[in-house]
Structure 1
Amino acid sequence: MARKKKPGDHPNHERWLVSYADFMTLLFAFFVMMYANSQTNKEKATLISHAFREAMTEGTLGPALSRLLNNIPSKPGQVLPSNIAVLPVQNKKPRPVELLPSLHQLNDTLKKEIQSGRLEVRMEGRGLVISLKEATFFPSGGDILEPTTLPMLAVIATEIKRYPNPIRLEGHTDSIPIKTSRFRSNWDLSAARGIAMLELFAERFGVDRGRMAISGFADTAPVASNETDEGRRRNRRVDIVVLNELAAAQEPVQASSK
């Protein structure tokens, strides 16, 4: 119902009637003005002042502030100062998903291989870890994957392709130094095994390269003592780490390879 005018009302009285939301917006605009006046960038402050004046005189506060906050000229043909950068809109990557279903799926599908000690699947604070034992997947001192392991790796690739989470391929060795014509040290060997896994996942199974990264740890992250043969066997491995949302947020931003 329209408000009836009372004697003495200003002719433009209704124009200045505002809702609570309008009042809060005006209050916000006031603080924007205060901020503008505190800046040493006078050209940007001028744009802010112009947007505010336009809002108050033309009743277009919302659009004016929207243009202001996005550094878009408020008038056709208006040119932004050269020192005000217009940032491009970046495509957001899919948000990492919960990994417990993958843990259960892999434990079920690869049950025999896990029980035989050929690989291990576990959940850590950073995400899902699939640990591939050297004795099963690589020859001693080499980075060529054993062809007999391809069916297992196909199961793993199929599962990790279902989700957008980043993947880290980490190579590990025992503490016995290696120096061959191909590998100068355990660092070279551990990194080369991670690269071999990346190439297989990308070329044969179609995993997006943009999701994957390589780490070579040599003997610096053991899971068992290097004082025994059994401990050294456990330490020689490649870990496929599918990062959870918390761990992924700490990673450098990567562009998709697609």
Structure 2
Amino acid sequence: MRRSRRVASHGGVNHERWVISYADFVTLLFAFFVVMFATANADKGKARAVAEAVKAALDPKANPHSREIIKELLKKDKRITPETAKQTVAELTPSLNVLQKNLKDEIQRGEIELHLEPRGLTVSFKQAALFDSGNADIKESASTALAKVADAILKLPNQIRLEGHTDNVPIHNGKFRNNWELSSERSIAVLQFLTEKFEVPVRRLAVSGYADVAPVASNDTEEGRTRNRRVDVVILSTLASKWEPDKN
């Protein structure tokens, strides 16, 4: 299990040194997202052409949205080929359909979003569905939705990523020093819930905390900030699992 948490040091050391490391980290992270954005938007004509190439192989009756899904997969990740995009859709569409049905009420209330992405199926829990503001203790009311997700996870052999995210508003309470800690602790809380309540094997899980560096909406509006405060449960495709660091 990987935990994206900062470990504080104590003793006679220079506590200002972390500022340099943090600045380097933010710079590298910014560069990473610039590269990802550039590659995701490059050669759109090729992406469209490849998407057309797999149209004939798709069964619109089985999944009427599969063409659009594959087109998006090809745009977002250059490691995705027509064949692997087809495999991702075929592999995870059954789970997507089951979760859409089982989480219908939560989706209608705006508590959960489902996305089929290049790396797999993402179940995105809004903060309000799992936690009180500024807190990392899972609410009792979240048990039902988490149980449905755990059931889907246990029916698959796939690796799972648990990713905590916040908006860009600094946290001000005595529990967490910053949004990095809050987002990490929330993903860890979901991991503990899944392993302790539903016996999801811990070796299949990895946790990360991203604070506000991976928003899905603008932080300039309350609606956008609400969408950004989330924990994503990502059921990785078989291919994406191979991209993960070896846990052995």
Q: How does the TM-score come out when normalised to structure 1?
A: 0.60
Q: Which runs of 5+ in 1 are unaligned?
A: 1-95
| SS of corresponding position for 2:91 | coil
The answer for the alignment partner of 2:200 in structure 1 is 207
Structure 2: distance between partners of 1:156 and 1:135:
17
The answer for the alignment partner of 2:245 in structure 1 is 252
Matched, 1:98 2:91: yes
Structure 1 runs of 4+ off > 6 angstroms?
A: none
Among candidates 97, 108, 131, match of residue 115 of structure 1: 108
The answer for the alignment partner of 2:143 in structure 1 is 150
Letter in 2 for 1:171: G
**What are the equivalent positions in structure 2 for 1:1-150 lying under 5 Å apart?**
98-150=91-143
Letter in 2 for 1:99: L
Matched, 1:222 2:226: no
Deviation at 1:164, TM superposition (A): 1.0
Q: Deviations over 1:23-64 (max 9, x none)?
A: xxxxxxxxxxxxxxxxxxxxxxxxxxxxxxxxxxxxxxxxxx
The answer for the alignment partner of 2:185 in structure 1 is 192
RMSD, matched Cα: 1.3
Q: Higher helix proportion, which one?
A: 2
The answer for the alignment partner of 1:168 in structure 2 is 161
Among candidates 212, 223, 228, match of residue 235 of structure 1: 228
Q: Deviations over 1:192-221 (max 9, x none)?
A: 000000000000011000000001000000
Q: Which runs of 5+ in 2 are unaligned?
A: 1-87
Deviation at 1:183, TM superposition (A): 0.6
Structure 2: distance between partners of 1:186 and 1:207:
27
Letter in 1 for 2:119: R
What percent identity do the matched residue pairs reach?
50
Q: Which has the higher contact order (CA 8 A, sep 6+)?
A: 2
Deviation at 1:98, TM superposition (A): 1.5
Letter in 2 for 1:153: L
Number of residue pairs the alignment of both structures matches: 160
| SS of corresponding position for 1:204 | helix
Letter in 2 for 1:200: F
Matched, 1:177 2:157: no
| SS of corresponding position for 2:200 | coil
Deviation at 1:179, TM superposition (A): 3.9
Larger radius of gyration: 1
